[in-house]
Structures are given as structure tokens and as C-alpha cells.
């Protein structure tokens, strides 16, 4: 699909700030992406630096021409590189899950003031998966036992992760047969690192089997534990109105942005921002109040649970600072750019690091501990408030777009089924009767190698135009929110069938399900659709797919691998990290289908990607015997413009 223009972004407020940055000699990731060209050898997975005999470089155009010093071929090397991306992604999500589990136990023991066990219904449901008795017990007792059992799964050596039992029976059988049911979360990551060490696992298919088991420990393990325990502690999201884009920053208030991933800190910042003493202090400093907003996935977490506005996605973190209006950006872990402190030096903005695992030179470190969360978050906000009088000229773009977020799998259930018969039946029925052609998860990052936000927005418009319900997480959801796709009125851009469903229920055609660990909600939603009946007996029978059109993070690779292993087609844009090895690529793109009934695909063009997805969904419908003559509607620029809300 041709890009609408040669601009680096389709987001107006981002372009406005980038234009100012250019005129004022400020550098951002958009500039660095031009200066630093991607290495073609590394990009195709053709470089091995796992020992000091190398690094050994292969020629991606002539893959079998050379061997590494140890004799390793390109296929082994590419598989090791890919597998290490999976291990890193799994580690990131799971370390997040571990911290949540630890705080959850402490909350149950009442050792961490400010944290509590909020959602009792979800506590009981989740407890059942871990065989924790609930009858006649206090919520704190149940929570403590559940938390201890979840935490034990990180160090577990044998057995299986309990959450895998939420998948359809057929899927669980297949995992068992293929030997990819995860045993313990840390164990799978450690074994992956061991097997990709020099001179250990050399069979690329065997390496990929462990990479699959490792990714499974993310999706059905660490990520799922994070999501479920967060919901119990902070509340399960329900749909609520909020705002997105840089326009959420306020010229007359103390602007604090919370950026990163773990809501343990963000939740407490939300509380502290309402503290009357701090609000009073902000007023004494001449501000109208404290304006909290989020960025990236920690932003998604507090957006979903509190309606806190989201200032932007991954590629807007530097742009927020360039507005000159941010008193403090508080960061924890993941997806934080190292350029922030030096950029902030050009303004009055304070960059505050909070996590002992993630420090940055040039930032102020105020270490966060759950046991003293209330005082520490107040201290962080005081730094921001004291900084307000130092603010210079500001340039806040006006875009502040309405959105609805908060579609947990429970709220999708409730919304479609109603309060008296909350179920996936209406969704399944609408898929069977053809009003909804299928469901696609559009997830993942931004990447300055491609036009910011356009991959997400163009693809999603084409999907909903073809009656495909879109569920989103991560920076993809923020991109579409900014484009006005997350409001019920966006149903006017949907095909006739999907529009009818959206208008009846009053929901948007694109549902924001949360942060990247919340992709586990999509796994559960798919499992529930199978359980509801009428759409086959396994996730692989469903007319569904997953897409990450602008991915950049290793976490995205792990997410993709667990969705493939769960039976889905997963398509990535931008670049594909195994192209140096035709054999490994064939294994992932074709042979995985025989193994897991799911497979990878790579397509950088949003239009072609949409066509591939629609074709896949049509085939699934045909196999289910529910296909109707639904031709793909092609959207040229004119058609798309006529759909603008």
C-alpha cells in the first residue's frame, strides 16, 4: 500500500513537534533512524556473536557459502538468534509478572499500604485454576495462597503451568504431544539461553521447539499471571471514556507523564496525584492542578483502569519532552529511550527513574519500593511540582482525541451478552451468521523504520471495512485511538455487518484490551469462543489472526511465537529476522502450520497484509462451513477519505 505521503508520521501532533525539533536542531529517534542504517547481516539473523571465535558473519544472499568457525551453519545461527529474542521477550514480560506476584502476596498479607485485593469475583475464578479453596475463606487468605502458587511457577522445575489449562482440551493435548507445554517460567528462559550457548543445541528445529515452550511460558505463564493478578489488585477494566495524544498535556497544570510497563508504580502515582496536599502545593506554585498522563504500556494500564489520558505511544516519548510542558517523566522498565535525559536537559523536564533494574545516566533516581509506595510516589510528584515554576515556553499540539478503552475479556463477555447472560454466544452467533467475518488482534510497537502509526491505522481501517472486529493492545491501540477509531462512531467506517453489531451494542469496531502483557486476555477470549461452541474445537479452527505491523521489540517476537503455538496465523510488518536462513524461515512460515496449526508470515505492505489476513479468515470460515460470499472490499485513498469520521 502506498504511503499517504513521505512524512515520518501520520499523527498530526507528532509532525508538528518534529517540525519544531528540526527547526531547533533537536534530534529524535526519527532522525537517528535515518543516520543509523540497519545492518543487513544482523537484520536477517546472519551474524553469530555467541562466542569469541567470531563474530561470524554469513552472507544472507548466499546462506550456505560459509560456516562459522565452530562449523555452525546459518540455519542454526538464525534459529539461535530468533530463540534468544523469544527468551528476552519472555524474560521481560515474566519479570514484570514476578514483581506483580510478589506485591500481590504482600497485599494479601497487608504489608504494603495502598495495595488491596479489589476484584473478589476474579480472585475466586483465578483461584479455581490453581486449585485454591475459596469457600468460607477470607479474600486475603485466598489471595495469599493464590499468590504463593503463582510465584512458585517462576521457579518450578517440572509439571505444567496451571494457566495452560484454560486453553481448549484439544490444544492442551497438542502441546503435550509436541513437548511444548511450559514447565516453569524461569526454567524455560534459562534452558533457552543454555541451548543457544556455543556448542549446545545445533538442530534449528529442536532450538525452535524450546523457543516455543519458552514463549508459551510468557503468554500462558508470566504475562497471564501479570494480567490476572493486576486485575484482582487494581480492578478488572471496564469500558470507559478517555483522551489520547499530546493534546492531553495542559498548559496551566503540572504535567507528569508515567512511562514504562509495570502498573505497581503507576497505580500509586494515580493515587498520589489526587492527594489534597500535593494539589495544594501545585496551586501554591501557580498551577491549576496536577495533570497525570501515560505513555506506552504503563499508560495503557492506568488508562484502562482509571481513564487516565494517554499522551502517546512509543515514538512520542521524546516528542512529549519537546513540548516543553512536562515537569517530570517517571519511568520504570521497558521501551524507555536512553535519549530522554539528554533531551530533557534542553528543557526543565526531570526524568525520574524508579526501578533498580533500569537506571539511566543523567536521570534522577528515586527508587520505588512497594512497602513505602505512598511516600515515594508523593516524593516523585513533589519533584515535578517544585519544577513547575522553571517551565519555559510551551508548544502543546491541540490534538486530544476521544476514545473508549477497557475491554477485558470479561467486559467483552458482558457487553455482548448483557448482564443477565454474559457470554460469548452473541459474538459467536454474529461470526456464524456472517455479520462479523472474524476477529483480528492488531498489537505491538512503533518503529521509525516505517511511517509512524500508518501500518496500524491503514490495516485496521481495511479490516473493519471488511467486517473484521479488531482487538488491540500496546502501542497499536494508542495509534488507532489517536486516529479516532476507538469510539462507537467509528462504526461508520466498518462494513455493513460489523457496523450493525457495533451500533446495536454501542461499541467501537476496534476494542482496546490493554498493555502487551494483556495479550493474554486475547488468548483467553479465543479459548472462550471455542468453549462457547459453534466455531470448532480448537483456537486453530477460529477465523482469527494476530498482526504486528510496526513491531520493534523482542517482546513482540515472544508474543508472536506463543500465538502461533496457540494456533493462530501471525503476520509481522517492517522486517523479518530470519530471512538469512531460508530453511528456518520455511520452518516458521510453513512447517509450523503442520506442528501447531498456526504459522508466521511477513508482509510489510498494510494492504497486502490485510488481503492475506482476510484470505486466511475466509478459509477458516469455509472449513467451519459458515462461509458466505463476502468479497474483500478494496480501499483506495479516496474510499478511505470518504470514511473519515
Residues 267-296 that bind ligand BF8 (CB under 6 A): 296
Q: How far is the CB of 477 from ligand BF8 (least distance, A)?
A: 9
Choice from 184, 309, 455, 474 touching ligand BF8 (CB under 6 A): 474
348-366 b/e (C-beta count within 10 Å ≥ 16 → b): bbbbbbbbeebebeebeeb
3-state SS assignment for residue 187: helix
**Listed residue (344, 242, 270, 260) closest to 296, CA to CA:** 260
Going from the C-alpha of 76 to that of each of 55, 208, 215, 233, 580, the distances in angstroms are 14, 10, 19, 43, 11
Q: How many residues bind ligand BF8 (CB under 6 A)?
A: 13
- Our CB check for ligand BF8 shows the closer of 101 and 335 to be 335
- Our CB check for ligand BF8 shows the closer of 56 and 548 to be 548
Residues 528-557 that bind ligand BF8 (CB under 6 A): 553, 555
Query: CA-based Rg of the chain, rounded to a whole angstrom?
Result: 24
Which string of DSSP letters, residue by residue, matches 358-377?
---TTSEE----GGGHHHHH
Q: How far is the CB of 627 from ligand BF8 (least distance, A)?
A: 33
Q: How far is the CB of 555 from ligand BF8 (least distance, A)?
A: 5
Residues in Cβ contact with 632 at an 8 Å cutoff, skipping those fewer than 6 apart: 466, 610, 611, 614, 615
Choice from 11, 101, 475, 547 touching ligand BF8 (CB under 6 A): 475
- Our CB check for ligand BF8 shows the closer of 344 and 475 to be 475
Distance of CA 2 to the CA centre of its chain: 26
Q: How far is the CB of 335 from ligand BF8 (least distance, A)?
A: 3
Let me know: does 259 contact 296? Beta carbons within 8 Å: yes
Residues 294-353 that bind ligand BF8 (CB under 6 A): 296-297, 314, 335
- Our CB check for ligand BF8 shows the closer of 296 and 481 to be 296
Sign of CA dihedral 644, 493, 309, 327: negative
Let me know: does 468 contact 438? Beta carbons within 8 Å: yes
Let me know: does 525 contact 412? Beta carbons within 8 Å: yes
Residues 227-266 that bind ligand BF8 (CB under 6 A): 261
Q: In which order are the strands placed within the sheet that holds 544-548?
A: 510-514, 468-473, 438-442, 544-548, 569-572, 599-602
Residues 125-184 that bind ligand BF8 (CB under 6 A): none
Q: Can you tell me the distance from the alpha carbon of 535 to that of 538, in angstroms, rounded to the nearest whole number?
A: 8
- Our CB check for ligand BF8 shows the closer of 180 and 475 to be 475
Written as nine digits, the cell of 68 is 562459522
- Our CB check for ligand BF8 shows the closer of 168 and 237 to be 237
The verdict on 516 binding ligand BF8 (CB under 6 A) reads: yes
Residues 552-571 that bind ligand BF8 (CB under 6 A): 553, 555
Q: How far is the CB of 591 from ligand BF8 (least distance, A)?
A: 27
Residues 430-469 that bind ligand BF8 (CB under 6 A): 444-445
- Our CB check for ligand BF8 shows the closer of 301 and 462 to be 301
- Our CB check for ligand BF8 shows the closer of 11 and 108 to be 11
Q: How far is the CB of 125 from ligand BF8 (least distance, A)?
A: 25
Query: How buried is residue 121: exposed, middle or buried, by Cβ count under 10 Å (0-12/13-18/19+)?
Result: exposed
- Our CB check for ligand BF8 shows the closer of 56 and 225 to be 225
Q: How far is the CB of 134 from ligand BF8 (least distance, A)?
A: 32
Contact positions vs ligand BF8 (CB under 6 A): 261, 296-297, 314, 335, 444-445, 474-475, 515-516, 553, 555
Amino acid at each position: 500500500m502506498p504511503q499517504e505521503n513521505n512524512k515520518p508520521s501520520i499523527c498530526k501532533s507528532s509532525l508538528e513537534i518534529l517540525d519544531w525539533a528540526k527547526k531547533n536542531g533537536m534530534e529524535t529517534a526519527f532522525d537517528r533512524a535515518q543516520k543509523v542504517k540497519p545492518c543487513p547481516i544482523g537484520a536477517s539473523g546472519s551474524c553469530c556473536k555467541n562466542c569469541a571465535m567470531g563474530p561470524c558473519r554469513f552472507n544472507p544472499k548466499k546462506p550456505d557459502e560459509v560456516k562459522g568457525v565452530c562449523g555452525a551453519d546459518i540455519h542454526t545461527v538464525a534459529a539461535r538468534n530468533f530463540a534468544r529474542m523469544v527468551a528476552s521477550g519472555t524474560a521481560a514480560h515474566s519479570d514484570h509478572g514476578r514483581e506483580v506476584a510478589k506485591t500481590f502476596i504482600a497485599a494479601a498479607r497487608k504489608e504494603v499500604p495502598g495495595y488491596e485485593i479489589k476484584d473478589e469475583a476474579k480472585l475466586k475464578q483465578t483461584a479455581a485454576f490453581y486449585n485454591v479453596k475459596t469457600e468460607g475463606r477470607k479474600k486475603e487468605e485466598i489471595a495469599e495462597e493464590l499468590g504463593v502458587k503463582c510465584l512458585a511457577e517462576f521457579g518450578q522445575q517440572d509439571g505444567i503451568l496451571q494457566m495452560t489449562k484454560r486453553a481448549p482440551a484439544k490444544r492442551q493435548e497438542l502441546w503435550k504431544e509436541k513437548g511444548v507445554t511450559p514447565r516453569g517460567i524461569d526454567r524455560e528462559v534459562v534452558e533457552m539461553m543454555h541451548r543457544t550457548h556455543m556448542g549446545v543445541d545445533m538442530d534449528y528445529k529442536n532450538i525452535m521447539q524450546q523457543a516455543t515452550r519458552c514463549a508459551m511460558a510468557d503468554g500462558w505463564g508470566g504475562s497471564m499471571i501479570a494480567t490476572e493478578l493486576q486485575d484482582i489488585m487494581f480492578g478488572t477494566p471496564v469500558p470507559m471514556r478517555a483522551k489520547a495524544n499530546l493534546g492531553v498535556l495542559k498548559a496551566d497544570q503540572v504535567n507528569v507523564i508515567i512511562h514504562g510497563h509495570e502498573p505497581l508504580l503507576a497505580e500509586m502515582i494515580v493515587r498520589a496525584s489526587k492527594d489534597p496536599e500535593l494539589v495544594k502545593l501545585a496551586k501554591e506554585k501557580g498551577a491549576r492542578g496536577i495533570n497525570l498522563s501515560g505513555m506506552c504500556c504503563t499508560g495503557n494500564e492506568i488508562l484502562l483502569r482509571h481513564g487516565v489520558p494517554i499522551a502517546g505511544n512509543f515514538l512520542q516519548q521524546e516528542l512529549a519532552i519537546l513540548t516543553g510542558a512536562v515537569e517530570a517523566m517517571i519511568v520504570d522498565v521497558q521501551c524507555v529511550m536512553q535519549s530522554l535525559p539528554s533531551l530533557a536537559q534542553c528543557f526543565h523536564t526531570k526524568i525520574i527513574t524508579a526501578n533498580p533494574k533500569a537506571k539511566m545516566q543523567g536521570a534522577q533516581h528515586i527508587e520505588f519500593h512497594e512497602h513505602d509506595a505512598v511516600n515515594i510516589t508523593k516524593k516523585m510528584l513533589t519533584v515535578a511540582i517544585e519544577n513547575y515554576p522553571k517551565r519555559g515556553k510551551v508548544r502543546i499540539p491541540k490534538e486530544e482525541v476521544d476514545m473508549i478503552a477497557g475491554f477485558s475479556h470479561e467486559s467483552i463477555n458482558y457487553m455482548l451478552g448483557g448482564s443477565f447472560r454474559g457470554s460469548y454466544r452473541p459474538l459467536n452467533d454474529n461470526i456464524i451468521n456472517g455479520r462479523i467475518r472474524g476477529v483480528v488482534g492488531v498489537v505491538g510497537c512503533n518503529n521509525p523504520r516505517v511511517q509512524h502509526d500508518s501500518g496500524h491505522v491503514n490495516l485496521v481501517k481495511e479490516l473493519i471495512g471488511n467486517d473484521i472486529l479488531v482487538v488491540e493492545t500496546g502501542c497499536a491501540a494508542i495509534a488507532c485511538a489517536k486516529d479516532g477509531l476507538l469510539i462507537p462512531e467509528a462504526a461508520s467506517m466498518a462494513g455493513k455487518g460489523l457496523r450493525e453489531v457495533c451500533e446495536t451494542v454501542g461499541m467501537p469496531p476496534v476494542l482496546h484490551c490493554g498493555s502487551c502483557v494483556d495479550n493474554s486476555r486475547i488468548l483467553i477470549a479465543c479459548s472462550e469462543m471455542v468453549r462457547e461452541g459453534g466455531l470448532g474445537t480448537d483456537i486453530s479452527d477460529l477465523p482469527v489472526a494476530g498482526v504486528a505491523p510496526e513491531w520493534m521489540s523482542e517482546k513482540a517476537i515472544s508474543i508472536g511465537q506463543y500465538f502461533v503455538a496457540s494456533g493462530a496465523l501471525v503476520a509481522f510488518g517492517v522486517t523479518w529476522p530470519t530471512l538469512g536462513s531460508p530453511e528456518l524461515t520455511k520452518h516458521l512460515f510453513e512447517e509450523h502450520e503442520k506442528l501447531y496449526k498456526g504459522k508466521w508470515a511477513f508482509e510489510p505492505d498494510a494492504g497486502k497484509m490485510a488481503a492475506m489476513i482476510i484470505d486466511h479468515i475466509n478459509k477458516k470460515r469455509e472449513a467451519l462451513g459458515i462461509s458466505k460470499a463476502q468479497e474483500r472490499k478494496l480501499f483506495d485513498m479516496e474510499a478511505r477519505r470518504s470514511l473519515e469520521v
